[in-house]
Amino acid sequence: MRIAITRGVSPAIADCQLTHLARHPIDYERARVQHSAYEAALAALGCQVQALPAEPAMPDSVFVEDLAIVLDEVAILTRPGAVSRRAETASVATALTPFRPLVSIDAPATLDGGDVLRTGRMLSVGLTTRTNQAAVDQLTTVLAPYGYRVQGVPVRGCLHLKSAVTEVAPGTLLGNGQWIDWRAFAGFDVIEVDAAEPYAANGLRIGERVIYPAGFPATAGRLAQHGVALLALDVSELQKAEGAVTCCSLVFESPPRP
């Protein structure tokens, strides 16, 4: 069974953290409708959606990806880089407890899940305003017994590593080479986003399909040429909060893959 943990949009989302974007009004009702469509897409792709209640006092709490890294063997609870987001972790820990043993990232490390790209037994970890080298070091130590390797990847110009690169098919990465150095991903096939669509690198692969934001037609065309099947969604209000499609869920198998 594939589980997807989500959380309703906070009515305070207009007060979200913003790092690289200017603040624009966010239509809360529209954000809710878009988020419901996102949850419906997850369900249509075979996920059992476990929706946590919205947190009125936590503006960014819809972005549950940032609170944990769920691997087959263990789940890592993060220590988000934005102090305002640290209170979001507790309820995600409770939600994950039935599924995985939990390990926490501790100070001085800071880590956002949006900075962690897993490809097989390799975790690439964005070094950003949210995630530091101490987090890379802690992940390396915690995950070595399970056979994972961890590499830090410098990121410039965007919030998270997965704003800059995601895996859209086994061995195929979609990314923005202005924000990362592709040499960190030697051996992968690379699809570069269209230069006019810098934010187009974030797709959420669920089985054979990729949930993908509407509004990036040139990059979507490139993906189609590579045979990547998209499920396009309008997530405009979440994008104004500097989020995209990976950030609104934690997707994993239960029981873990053998």
Q: Could you give the residue numbers annotated as active site?
A: 160, 247
Could you say which of 60, 88, 167, 237 contacts ligand CIR (CB under 6 A)? Answer: 60
Quick check: 88 binds ligand CIR (CB under 6 A)?
no
Site for ligand CIR in 201-240 (CB under 6 A): none
For residue 154 the two structure tokens come to 């410098």
Choose between 65 and 255: whose C-beta lies nearer to ligand CIR: 65
For residue 137 the two structure tokens come to 């070091």
How far apart are CB 226 and ligand CIR at their closest, in Å? 23
What are the beta bridge partners of residue 70? 75
Quick check: 160 binds ligand CIR (CB under 6 A)?
yes
Choose the stretch contacting ligand CIR; rule: CB under 6 A; options: 27-35, 63-71, 139-147, 188-196.
63-71
Sheet hosting strand 250-253, strand order edge to edge: 47-52, 2-7, 250-253
Quick check: 245 binds ligand CIR (CB under 6 A)?
no
d(CA 237, CA 138): 34
In three-state secondary structure terms, 43 is: helix
Quick check: 242 binds ligand CIR (CB under 6 A)?
yes
Could you say which of 6, 45, 66, 77 contacts ligand CIR (CB under 6 A)? Answer: 66
Quick check: 63 binds ligand CIR (CB under 6 A)?
yes
Q: Where are the beta strands (DSSP E) in the chain?
A: 2-7, 47-52, 68-70, 75-77, 102-104, 116-119, 122-127, 149-154, 165-169, 172-175, 189-192, 204-206, 209-213, 229-233, 250-253
| Residues found near ligand CIR in the complex (CB under 6 A) | 16-17, 19, 60, 63, 65-66, 82, 85, 114, 159-160, 241-244, 247
